Amino acid sequence: MLAYQHAYHAGNFADVHKHLALYATQLALLRKESSVTYVDTHAGRGRYPLTGKETQKLKEYEQGVLPLWYARQALSNKHPLLETWLMALVRAQDSQAKPSLTHYPGSPWWLADSLRKQDRLSLFELHPGEHDHLEAQSWPSNVRHIHVDGLAGLRRLLPATTPRLCVLIDPSYERKEDYTEVAETLAYVARKARHAQVMIWYPLLPAGRHQTLLERARDAGLRKLWRSEVRLHSPGASHGMYGSGMLFFNPPWGLDEVMNNVFTDVVGLWGQEATHRGDWWVGE
């Protein structure tokens, strides 16, 4: 289908949720020297100018990342994760001397930012135009961008040649089969790489299709599935996306506590009705 373009949504609350979770997972992986293969199955463009005409159309970043940018001093004082993440967000801007928020970095940027020489990163993007944007950016030599289907590309990469594997699966869910295909891919990865750390983003929409993904993952017999969900408001209050979910397979130790602490404060910036819930979907 490939109608979706992430530039319309860059920097929204779901991006902040996803990229804080991604960054927290990466920081945990950096505690050990052994090399990591990172895979981003649905990469997008990699970095988005907030002045771009697509992003300006909906201006979702004004409700998402902008309140964190304005509150960055107070947030950094409270949480080490937010301090490091916000410092990285400053690095993603064109000018670091007196930074203003002109760009929002996508998952490839966040992953590449803390890539070490022993790690590698594979970025899959199927949309030709989006892939052109991705290709046009400069990436370290251990980053590959590949213009093929991300879930198939991930399967072909297994088993990874590094001791550790960390995967982000972030489709646009334009087809309802995406939910089942993602769950099937997770089960496949878990069979081929039992210790892989996998993060799956899913939208919370009134139709509730994310439940299929969660139930398929549980019914496949997977264990150690932790989920984090941000809700901006109750499902009935609008037709569109009311929340953002992340499902973690083999989350790093302590991630639950970090996410719960950080999002207690972050959701406060997103309105009075906004909430965060973190819990085990399937325990050990």
Question: Smallest gap, in angstroms, from Cβ of residue 254 to ligand SAM?
Answer: 23
Alpha carbon 4 to its chain centroid, in Å, reads 16
Query: 83 or 149, CB closer to ligand SAM?
Result: 149
Picking from 212, 220, 219, the residue whose alpha carbon sits closest to that of residue 189 is 220
The single residue listed with the structure tokens 């949720």 is 17
Q: Is 239 marked within a binding site? A: no
Q: Is 279 marked within a binding site? A: no
Q: Is 113 marked within a binding site? A: no
Contact 254, 28 (CB under 8 A): yes
Query: How far is the C-alpha of 124 from the C-alpha of 180, rounded, in Å?
Result: 19
Provide the 8-state DSSP code for 159.
Answer: S
Residues with catalytic function: 170
**Residue 68 phi, psi (nearest 5):** -70, -35
Q: Is 42 marked within a binding site? A: yes
Question: Smallest gap, in angstroms, from Cβ of residue 163 to ligand SAM?
Answer: 25
Looking at residue 149, its amino acid is: D
Query: 205 or 282, CB closer to ligand SAM?
Result: 205
Question: Smallest gap, in angstroms, from Cβ of residue 221 to ligand SAM?
Answer: 26
* Position with the least CB separation from ligand SAM: 106
Question: Which residues are CB-contacts of 216 (< 8 A; sequence separation ≥ 6)?
Answer: 179, 180, 183, 184, 187
The single residue listed with the structure tokens 């203003």 is 100
Question: Smallest gap, in angstroms, from Cβ of residue 219 to ligand SAM?
Answer: 24
Contact 92, 103 (CB under 8 A): yes
Question: Smallest gap, in angstroms, from Cβ of residue 176 to ligand SAM?
Answer: 14
Query: 20 or 262, CB closer to ligand SAM?
Result: 20
Looking at residue 231, its amino acid is: R
Beta bridge partner(s), residue 198: 167, 249
Contact 210, 180 (CB under 8 A): no
Token pair recorded at residue 261? 């602490």
Which residues in this chain contact ligand SAM in the complex, by CB under 6 A?
Answer: 2, 4, 6, 18, 42-44, 106-107, 124-127, 130, 149-150, 170-172
SS3 content of the chain, % helix, strand, coil (to 5): 45, 20, 35
Q: Is 150 marked within a binding site? A: yes
Query: 207 or 282, CB closer to ligand SAM?
Result: 207
Binding residues: 19, 42, 107, 125, 149-150, 170
Annotated binding residues for S-adenosyl-L-methionine, written as ranges, equal 19, 42, 107, 125, 149-150, 170
